[in-house]
Each structure stands twice: as structure tokens, then as C-alpha cells.
Amino acid sequence: MSASKTSLTSTLRKEWYVAIILLIPFLVSWSVWDLLPEQVPIHFNIQGEADDWGPRWINAFLMPLIGLGLYFFLLIVPAIDPKNQIENKQEALRIIRIATSLFMVVVYGVVMGQSLGYDWNITQIIFAATGLLFLLLGQAMKSVKPNYFMGIRTPWTLENEHVWNRTHAWSGTLWVWGGGAMMASSFIPNESFMLGFFLAIIAVLVLGPLIFSFLEHRKVSE
């Protein structure tokens, strides 16, 4: 057995609980299939209101299938990384796999709840879940090595490994705090203010690493 297959098998054994978490939505969908209407909400606007509908299989099975596919893609990334700088045993990649899997299950749960007629605040739940996702990804980002698939891939981080490492260490901390702020924003009672605050945080988390990597590259080049 090749080293990559051995690593993949070993990782699957250690992360058996993630596979169970990702398979639960399929069992739930099968059990409630007859309770779902023929047409279910498949898209929501920024206020959390349904604005498009489609066949029930989309929410019931396509969404969990996407989550499962994303997990397995992150499992095989090390095998297709040309630089061979990603390994499944790396803590960063493990956190990313688990965080994205949990996020996809939460999104599935929220959408299926709406499909079954539950009236809850989708925006609040998704904002909180997104904040937790950024918090976990920020923690993982601090130790991500240069690669072709993940991380802050700006022209300046790709040009210099020192800039990559400094940018990811700084951005990881930023994302952890930003994720916490997102989670806190979900409790803001005023929806308009909650949305504005959330979008402002997103802007900071996107632009911050970009600007930092540019400034760090200039510092190194001087």
C-alpha cells in the first residue's frame, strides 16, 4: 500500500466521528422524506427570507452530499499537492476538515428546519455558525504551510515564505477575534445593524490579510 493510501486510511480511522456526523443528515432526510413538501426553499436573501424554491431532494440529499464531498476533497489534498507540503496529520488541516464539516451540517439543519416549517431566525443562526467557522479556521491558519490550495494566497505570500508565515500568524489571530465578533453580532436585536456589523467584519477579515501581506513584503524587500 502506498504511503498516501496508508495516510488516508489512518486519518479516516482517527476521524471516524466526522464521517458519522456527515452521514447523520442522510439518515435524517430519509426519515423525514414523506414530511417534506414537494417544493422547498433552496435560497434565502440576506434577511433570511426564502426567495427561491426547488425540489425537496436538493435540501434533503444534495446539501449533505456537498458536505461529504468537501470533507473527502480535503482528505485527498495532500496526495495532489505538487509541493508535498500538506499532510493529513497536520493539525491545521484536521481543524479545517472538522470545522467545515460541522458548518455544512449546521447549514443543512437550518435549511431542513425551514423546509419542514420551523420558523426560526436563519440569519442569526448562520451568522453565529459562520463566526465559529472563522474562529476555528483562524486557529488553523496560524500553522498552514505554503501550498497550492489553502491559506492567504496573495502575490506577496506566494513570493516569500517569510511573508507567508508572518501573514498567516497575524491573519489567524485576526480571524479568531473576527469570528468571535461575528458570533457576538448574531445577538444584536436590530437586524439592519446586525447585518451591517457582520459585513464590516467580513470586509476587515478579507482586506486585513491582503494589506498586511503587501506591507510585510515591502518591509522584507527594503
pLDDT, residue 10, reads 77
Do 138 and 108 sit in the same domain of this protein? no
Lowest average pLDDT, out of 7-21, 74-88, 120-134, 170-184, goes to: 74-88
Do 55 and 82 sit in the same domain of this protein? yes
Do 23 and 99 sit in the same domain of this protein? yes
User: What percentage of residues in the chain have a pLDDT greater than 90?
Assistant: 62
Domain boundary among 52, 85, 120: 120
pLDDT, residue 207, reads 97
Domain boundary among 88, 103, 120: 120
Do 63 and 80 sit in the same domain of this protein? yes
Residue 132's pLDDT band (boundaries 50, 70, 90)?
very high
Number of domains observed in the structure of the chain:
2
Provide the whole-model pTM: 0.85
Q: Is 18 exposed, middle or buried (0-12, 13-18, 19+ CB in 10 A)?
A: buried
pLDDT, residue 4, reads 54
Do 163 and 90 sit in the same domain of this protein? no
pLDDT, residue 166, reads 96
Q: Could you list the residue range(s) of the whole structural domain that residue 20 is in?
A: 1-120
Report the chain's mean pLDDT, rounded to a whole number: 88
172 or 117, greater pLDDT:
172
Residue 147's pLDDT band (boundaries 50, 70, 90)?
confident
User: What percentage of residues in the chain have a pLDDT greater than 70?
Assistant: 92
pLDDT, residue 189, reads 87
- Please list the helix, strand and coil fractions of the chain in percent, rounded to the nearest 5, in that order: 75, 5, 20
Do 197 and 87 sit in the same domain of this protein? no
Highest-scoring range by mean pLDDT, 43-57, 79-93, 107-121, 125-139: 125-139
Of 70, 71, 46, 63, the residue nearest 108 (C-alpha) = 63
Do 186 and 164 sit in the same domain of this protein? yes
Do 85 and 103 sit in the same domain of this protein? yes
Domain boundary among 100, 120, 140: 120
Do 168 and 190 sit in the same domain of this protein? yes
